[in-house]
Amino acid sequence: MTLTGYFQTMDSVQYQKLRGLNMGSRFAMRWLIQIFAVSVITTVLLMIHLSRSQNRMTQEEAIELKKEAIRNNFRRERLTELQKTLFVEKNRPPDRKFNINVTRSEEISLERDIPDTRADSCKMIRYDVSSLPTISVIIPFYNEALSMLLRTVHSILNRTPPQLLQEVILVKDHASNKDLGETLENYLKYLPKVKLVQTMKREGLIRARMIGAGMARGEVIMFQVRSM
C-alpha cells in the first residue's frame, strides 16, 4: 500500500467513526427531546387534573358553606321567634326567690353587646388560634333564672373561636323550676355544640361538675359560673 493510499484509508476510517458519533449524538438528542416533551405533556396534564380537582373541591365546599349558611339562618330565625315568646308566660318563681330582678333580665337581649374592658396593652396581644387546644365548657345549674342561663350560653358561643369550642355541657342538677324543663330543652335544640345532661337526683355542685367532666371531649375543661 502506498503512503497516499494509507492516508486515504485512515481518513475513511475516521470519517466513519465521526459519522457514527454524529449519528449517536443525533439519536441521543432525539431521545432527550422526546423525554422532555413527554415530561412537559405529563406535567401539563397533571396540572389540568389538579386544577379541575381543586375546582371540584371548591364547588363542593361552596355548596356545603351555602347549606351551612341556610341552616344558620333558619336557626337564628327560629331562635328570634322563640325569644319573643320565651318569657311572656311567667312560668317561674317570683323575683324574690332569686334575690335579683329577673323580670329586668328577661327584658335584656340574650345576645347583648358587651364593651371590651381590657387594657389597651392586652388588646394588642395576638394569639395563634390554630396552636391552641380545644375546650369543653361545663355549666352545672340548679333552679337558675332561665334568661341568665341562656345569656351565659349565648355569650360563650358568640365570643369563643368556633375552632376552639368543642362543646358546652349544661348539667341540670335535678332542677325543679318549670321553665327549666321543656322550655329549656326546646330552645337548646337550635343552639350548636350545646348538650343538656340531667341528673337523676340532686348531686350538688362538685359531683355535677364531675358528671360534666366525664362527658367532655375537649382537650381543656372549663367550669363556668351559671349567671352572666
**What CATH number has the domain bearing residue 188?**
3.90.550.10
pTM: 0.68
CA-based radius of gyration for the chain: 37
195 and 214, same structural domain?
yes
Among 2-6, 27-31, 124-128, 174-178, the least confident range: 2-6
Coil/strand/helix, residue 118:
coil
Residue 9, all three cell numbers = 484509508
With respect to residue 201, please indicate whether it lies within any of the assigned structural domains: yes
144 and 212, same structural domain?
yes
Kindly report the number of other CB atoms within 10 A of residue 134's CB atom: 15
Instruction: Report residue 154's pLDDT band, with 50, 70 and 90 as the boundaries.
Output: very high
With respect to residue 120, please indicate whether it lies within any of the assigned structural domains: no
Residue with cell 422532555: 36
103 and 203, same structural domain?
yes
105 and 209, same structural domain?
yes
Stretch 45-68: mean pLDDT: 72
With respect to residue 51, please indicate whether it lies within any of the assigned structural domains: yes
pLDDT averaged over every residue in the chain:
82
Q: What is the number of structural domains in the chain?
A: 2
Position 220 pLDDT exceeds 70: yes
71 and 17, same structural domain?
yes
Closest CA to 138 of 181, 203, 202, 195: 195
Residue with cell 475513511: 12
With respect to residue 39, please indicate whether it lies within any of the assigned structural domains: yes
With respect to residue 177, please indicate whether it lies within any of the assigned structural domains: yes
Instruction: Report residue 30's pLDDT band, with 50, 70 and 90 as the boundaries.
Output: confident
At residue 41, the pLDDT reads 83
Residue with cell 423525554: 35
Kindly report the number of other CB atoms within 10 A of residue 160's CB atom: 16
Q: What percent of the chain has pLDDT over 70?
A: 83
Digit-coded pLDDT (tens) for 201-213: 999 999 999 999 9
At residue 6, the pLDDT reads 47
- Which domain does 66 fall in, by range? 1-85
167 and 144, same structural domain?
yes
Position 3 pLDDT exceeds 50: no
49 and 27, same structural domain?
yes
Position 24 pLDDT exceeds 50: yes
69 and 97, same structural domain?
no
DSSP 8-state class, residue 225 = P
At residue 167, the pLDDT reads 97
Q: What angle do CA 146, 156, 138 make, to 5 degrees?
A: 75
Segment 6-12 long-range contacts (CB within 8 Å, at least 24 positions apart): none
Stretch 111-121: mean pLDDT: 86
Phi, psi of 191 (to 5 degrees): -105, 125
